[in-house]
Amino acid sequence: MKVPFKRILAAAAIPLLLLTGCKNSGPVSSLQPSEDSQEEESENTRVVLPDNFTLPYEPDQTLDPVTCPDGVQQTVGSLLYEGLFRLDETLTPRPWLCTSYQYDPATYTYTFTLRSGVLFSDGSAFTAADAAATLRRAMNSDRYRTRLYQVTDVSGSGSTLTVVLSGPNTSFPALLDIPIVKAGTETSLTPIGTGPYQFTSGESSSRLTANPNWWNGGTLPVQQIFLSAAEDRDTLLYQFSSHDIQLLTADLTGTDPITATGNTSFQDMDTTVLQYVGINVNRAPFDNAALRKALNLGINRASLISAFLSGHGSAAQFPVSPVSPLYPSELESVYSYDAFASAMSAAGYNAGSSSRTVKLLVNEENSFKVSIANYLAESLSVFDLKIEVEPLPWDEYIAALSSGNFDLYYGEVKLTADWNLIRLLGTSGSLNYGRWSDARTDQLLAAYASSTDQAAAMKTLCAYLQEQSPILPVCFKSNSVLYQTGVVENLSPTMTEPFYNLSNCIIHLKSNSGT
């Protein structure tokens, strides 16, 4: 989806105001721009091509993908480094620096055969020892430690990499999109990689230049990408608004979302970030599965995403992304107020004179989540159950969840692409704040982890979760790639790679515009 960014922000403000206001707000008539605003829009949308394609980066921060900060360094790094696998547009792992693998379910051992003929940008050979060195560092890193918690041993020699797990996981390759750097160069601010570009530092500027040793040999949109120092947020936004840089990634519904002016477009990229309603299943009235299931039916997910996330998300009734081939769309139910009302009545909650009031916690720093929480509370409080929203500062919010001192909460979690839900829903899971402890759920989680038919195992798990509703999935968030309108074409961003289909990407510059 390519949409002028300035227009989207303006449009998003209208439904946000309406849905957090009166229940019976009427329809909004369309807004007609004045002649002055039309002239301003025409001026803003005039395409002025740059001399060079430029990305922001932090010159004093490492580009090492294991330890670099989030944000601009990761965007630059995605052009320098590659993983054994890549996550495609459906969050499915595709072999990249790895060509094949075998899994021994008796010993939980994976044996990966690496692609032959791959060279680092300095001309040296890529080996399994390099991959093993990066993975061992990743196991102890803040970014990847949780992802690799099952890994007990990693070794590599020649073209064979061996990884031993502590338990079954037939989806483990989905976790190995971790970018690899040449062993021994990780202490440099610019470690050596196998990607389509290599880092070059000149007297006056730093840039990425085409890697002559790139094994894939695909066509690159430009032979060099300039880098502009952007060491703080204000500098970054100024450079983007003035088109000194042409592209950046952003969470447009985060706690501190950026705003951009000028001739800007965006494309969304699906993520594994789940937003959901968490439930204290050990506290009445939510120890009643019928009530939990009824509330699940009462969430109008599509309307919520359109109104409060400006479309930056995908409605999900299960804790697996709808873009994934594992998502059991055949189990979905179409939102119906009548079905919600009937389920609430069956659970013993009618539109009577008495009511029970419960609290829905939300962290107050994120205005999008607070608005969603208010909407959920209002739309679900139409029977004898009344929901009140209690925004809390982050530290108090987490403390309440950790101690179990809540009825409901609006939560967000970044799941792993193997769709391992043990931490979220397994007994004693570190993210299982609702204290859901259920033997059948644990059995189904284990069955999925060891299954060779992952789609069938996920469908069985989701069908059971639909009946029990220990959490109420709402959506999977999208992140966005913002870019100067008219400069970039055919961008196909994924969660970790803004330039996923790099060879199909077209970058328009003054020098190649024919003007």
pLDDT digits (tens, 9 = 90+) for 141-171: 999 999 999 999 999 999 999 999 999 999 9
Residue range(s) defining the domain that contains residue 354: 271-478
Does residue 376 lie in a domain region? yes
Both 204 and 294 in one domain: the answer is: no
pLDDT of residue 507: 96
Cα(483)–Cα(406) distance, rounded to whole angstroms? 42
Cα(471)–Cα(401) distance, rounded to whole angstroms? 14
CATH of the domain at 299: 3.10.105.10
Q: pTM for this structure?
A: 0.90
Both 238 and 289 in one domain: the answer is: no
Q: Cis bond leading into 325, ω under 30°?
A: no
Q: Cis bond leading into 285, ω under 30°?
A: yes
pLDDT of residue 7: 32
Both 103 and 234 in one domain: the answer is: yes
Both 328 and 363 in one domain: the answer is: yes
**Nearest CA among 368, 403, 410, 404 for reference residue 389:** 410
pLDDT of residue 3: 42
Does residue 186 lie in a domain region? yes
Does residue 365 lie in a domain region? yes
Does residue 3 lie in a domain region? no
Both 285 and 202 in one domain: the answer is: no
**Nearest CA among 79, 197, 62 for reference residue 143:** 62
Both 316 and 392 in one domain: the answer is: yes
pLDDT of residue 259: 76
pLDDT of residue 257: 86
Both 202 and 302 in one domain: the answer is: no
pLDDT of residue 513: 61
Q: Residues 279-291: pLDDT tens digits? A: 999 999 999 999 9
Both 276 and 171 in one domain: the answer is: no
Q: What's the chain's average pLDDT?
A: 90
Overall number of domains in the chain? 2
Does residue 255 lie in a domain region? no
CATH of the domain at 76: 3.40.190.10
Does residue 10 lie in a domain region? no
pLDDT of residue 235: 92
One-letter amino acid identity for 101? Y
CB 295 within 8 A of CB 289: no
DSSP summary character for residue 119 = B
Q: Percent of the chain having pLDDT more than 70?
A: 89
pLDDT of residue 151: 98
pLDDT of residue 231: 83
pLDDT lower than 50: segments of the chain: 1-43, 515
Which pair of tokens denotes residue 469?
A: 């509703």
Would strands 356-363 and 385-392 be described as parallel, antiparallel, or unpaired? Answer: parallel
Tokens 């690496």: give the residue: 114
Distance of CA 399 to the CA centre of its chain: 25
**Nearest CA among 330, 329, 328 for reference residue 448:** 328
